Structure 1
Amino acid sequence: MPFWIMIVDDGLVYMGRSRGHRSFPPLMKWSDLTAHPWSNLDPYIGHLRPGIGTFFLTRVLDVKKVSLGIISLRNREEVKTEYPAYWTLSHRWGDPSQIQQLLKTTEQKLRKGISLGDLSHTFRDAALLVYRLGYRYIWIDSLCIFQDSKSDWQHESGTMADIYRHSLCNISAISSSIDPSSGLFHYREHEARLLFPFRISVRAYRTFRTSSTRRLSVGRWMIRNDSAWVDDVENAPLSTHGWVL
């Protein structure tokens, strides 16, 4: 059976129960490494990310008052910073009647502030995640596009590529695409396909290379069945959507 090896960060938690709170420290670290809220430098290619600072959404969800238990819908004109960083959410709707939607009849409620308790688990987790990571805005299609307006859908769908392309980060609700009511975080026991990290000596495996020029170094490493990514991510229902990257 094929396996792949990847570096394990000493600060990550791999075992035990998790419902989100243990996931935030590594997520915050990764978020800081990816981009500072006020930076448009791409750490992977070493220069400006394309389009950052040239596009913003027609409408966006403001999570500033998450600590008070609400999020609010904002128009672009209401956002004081011209091109602030924002996140996006890719999710599977499930039963539309079970999730909050932006309609002509719900617009004012969303603008005044909707309670986190009225949101689906996935939407609530996404808002909390963005807030906890130090950001203010997230775009969710069902709450930022009028679902009862054909003209609004036509306009917004025409900018969908820009919406996702210019977001700081996209949250793919992979697990909740199987069960839309489950949310982003779950209680978990030991992962059956995850082994405890172990120490490996470069002397014992001096001929092994992680790339054509980089030798395997001493450190904490993890071995995992490479079918996990295929089974859990690539074959998930959400991954069949056209704009999930």
Structure 2
Amino acid sequence: MPPRRQHHGPNHWPKQDQQYRVLYFTGDGPAVTQQLRGQPRRGARPQLSRAPRKPKTAHARYTSRTEWASASPLGNPGVSRTVCALSYCWGNVEAHRTTRGTLKSHLGSIPCEKLPRTLSEAIHVTRELGIPYLWIDSLCIIQEDEQDWKKEAAQMGAVYSDAHVVITAAALDTSHGGLFRDRDEASVRPVLLTASSPPAPRSKSRRYVVPSGGDWEAASYSPITNRAWPLQEDILGARILSFRADQLSWACLSMMATEVDPDGAVSERDRSSAAKRAERQSIRLRSLRGVLPGPTSHTSTQENRPASVRERDVRFQVWEKVVQQYSSRAITMQTDRIPVILGVGRRLEANLHDSFVAGIWRGAYCLRSLGWQAEAPGDLVAHYPSWSWASTTSRVSYSMLSGPGAGEATVDYQASVVHFDGPLSED
């Protein structure tokens, strides 16, 4: 996946029948592969836009998490392990899954031509990035096996937080739509202009001319953002490479960008109000990961120190925001209401020196976590107690008990949880 060459000739100028605008600020940089491989450079431009040629023979293989977890990093011990993780929507029917009946054959090989298009093209992207492993839930978890699902669901947060790149299929709500699609590349290719103006003619500025449709509004609202499971995957992933219907977008903790805005530098004054709201929402979600403690394998001495009251408050607010965001999304199996964000909870447990059951924290934040309220009538969910937000299908909020120090209130416990017989209750 080589860096995209700069195009300045007439064949790559803006089309006459398309609206363009000049961006307020710009920078430049090489291909997205440099950023994804642990060499962050501003303005990376990915080239994965055309459907790849199918190789004559292509096979995947089922492998355990233990095997890829022991793989050596990509030449840099400070980056995540050499594995990609796929975030996508299954759709109504998953055509190819690992079950007890297919496990033996999957341990040998899985012909890529038999996989849904999204899965096979994700394998192609992983190969192009030079990464040896790709984690796909439908293939890496033994389906219809309650014990294996329970074990793997408890580890899904670690899978996505340890992944070097999370590949997101954002365009469709099915696994058969694929990542790549035919398009006119000129419609999303920014044109770089260098301009000077009096009274300093020697002072030159650089501007991108991009299509007017290149807002973060479209990047933020896609079929996958309506689903519950991808929320945790998006928050915990260190790097997100998202395949949208019209273009690529990519994000890390320091920036978000698209093909039409490769530096992530579209000025506020160049955005519509809807696009501004969409971008702020995306920034809020990505910023949640910035205050989460790091995964166990990459925890520093500084992260091991006791957290202050303020730090605990900030990190507990992460939990509240995740629950509020998650509760507004669709989920197929209502019993997954806790497992779907378990990874975020596990990341917070050690730092808060606390644990939770059925989505409610046991220690100093017990009262505050009980202070949720349903924003609209919803159906009751079996398997969860009525005092848990997971017991309702309604969107919930935490406006009843909020503010600095609210979670540090002294609680006089009149009862305690003796046993909880629910999803992941033994973990």
Q: Which category of TM-score, normalised to the shorter sequence, fits these structures?
A: 0.5 to 0.7
For the residues of structure 2 that align with 1:90 and 1:10, how far apart are their CA atoms?
A: 26
> 1:70, CA displacement in angstroms?
0.5
- Per-residue displacement from partner, 1:123-160 (whole Å, max 9, x unpaired)? 00000111122111010111111111112222222222
Deviation at 1:240, TM superposition (A): 2.3
Task: Please state whether the residue corresponding to 2:216 is helix, strand or coil.
Answer: helix
Query: Runs of 4 or more off by more than 4 Å in structure 1?
Result: 77-80
Q: CA deviation at 1:195?
A: 6.7
Instruction: Confirm or deny that 1:240 pairs with 2:226.
Output: yes
What secondary structure sits across from 2:119 in the alignment?
helix
Who is 1:130 aligned against? Answer: 126
Residue 197 of structure 1 pairs with residue 183 of structure 2: no
Question: Judging changes above 3 Å, is the alpha-carbon distance between structure 1 residues 29 and 165 closer, same or farther for their aligned structure 2 residues?
Answer: same
Distance (whole Å) between structure 2 residues aligned to residue 134 and residue 195 of structure 1: 25
Q: 1:227 to 1:82 in 2, by over 3 A?
A: closer
Equivalent pair of 1:85/1:168 in contact (CA under 8 Å) = yes
Q: 2:32 aligns with which of 30, 33, 46?
A: 30
2:34–2:40: 8 Å Cα contact kept in structure 1? Answer: no
Find the residue that maps to 1:221 and give its secondary structure.
strand
State the 1:205 CA deviation.
11
* Other-structure match for 1:116: 112
Aligned-pair CA distance for 1:33: 2.7
Partner of 1:222: 209
* Distance in 2, Cα, partners of 1:205 & 1:151: 72
d(CA) in 2 for partners of 1:225 and 1:163?
37
CA spacing shift, 1:134–1:220, aligned 2, 3 Å: farther
% identity of equivalent residues: 20
Match of 2:5 in 1: 11
Instruction: After superposition, give the CA deviation of every residue in 1:4-35 in whole Å (9 maximum; x if it has no partner).
Output: xxxxx86268x7xxxxxxxxxxxx93122332
Who is 1:23 aligned against? Answer: none
Match for 1:69: what amino acid?
A: A
- Runs (5+) with no aligned partner, structure 1: 1-8, 16-27, 37-41, 45-65, 207-215
1:71 counterpart residue number = 60
The answer (yes or no) to whether the contact 2:4–2:31 under 8 Å persists in 1 is no
Note if contact 1:238-1:244 (Cα within 8 Å) is conserved in structure 2. no
In structure 2, the residue corresponding to 1:168 is in which secondary structure?
Answer: strand
Report 1:78-157 matches (<5 A).
Answer: 78-79=67-68, 81=71, 84-97=81-94, 99-157=95-153
CA distance in 1, matches of 2:66, 2:36: 28
Tell me, in whole angstroms, the C-alpha distance in 2 between the residues paired with 1:169 and 1:148.
28
Mapping of 1:150-189 within 5 angstroms? 150-177=146-173, 180-189=175-184
Cα distance in structure 2, aligned partners of 1:145 and 1:82: 23
Paired residue type of 1:182: G
1:217–1:175 distance in 2 versus 1, CA, 3 Å: farther
**Counterpart Cα distance in 2 of 1:205 and 1:164:** 52
How many correspondences in the alignment? 186
Shift of the 236–77 alpha-carbon distance from structure 1 to 2, 3 Å rule, reads closer
Q: 1:81 to 1:201 in 2, by over 3 A?
A: same
Query: Normalization by structure 2: what TM-score?
Result: 0.38
Distance 1:218 1:228, change over 3 A: same
Q: Per the alignment, in what secondary structure is the counterpart of residue 155 of structure 1?
A: helix
Aligned in 2, Cα 1:176/1:33: closer, same or farther, shift over 3 Å? Answer: same
Q: Which runs of 5+ in 2 are unaligned?
A: 13-29, 42-54, 74-80, 235-427
Normalising by structure 1, we get a TM-score of: 0.64
RMSD: 3.3
Partners of 1:109 and 1:101 lie apart in 2 by 12
**One-letter amino acid matched to 1:236:** S
Deviation digits for residues 150-203 of structure 1 (CA, Å, limit 9, x no counterpart): 1222222222221111110101101133x54220001113666x4751414153
Alpha-carbon distance between aligned partners in 2 of 1:70 and 1:205, rounded to the nearest angstrom: 62
Whose helix fraction is larger, Structure 1's or Structure 2's?
2
Superposed CA offset, 1:31-81 (max 9, x none)? 223325xxxxx748xxxxxxxxxxxxxxxxxxxxx8731010112444563
Find the residue that maps to 1:176 and give its secondary structure: coil
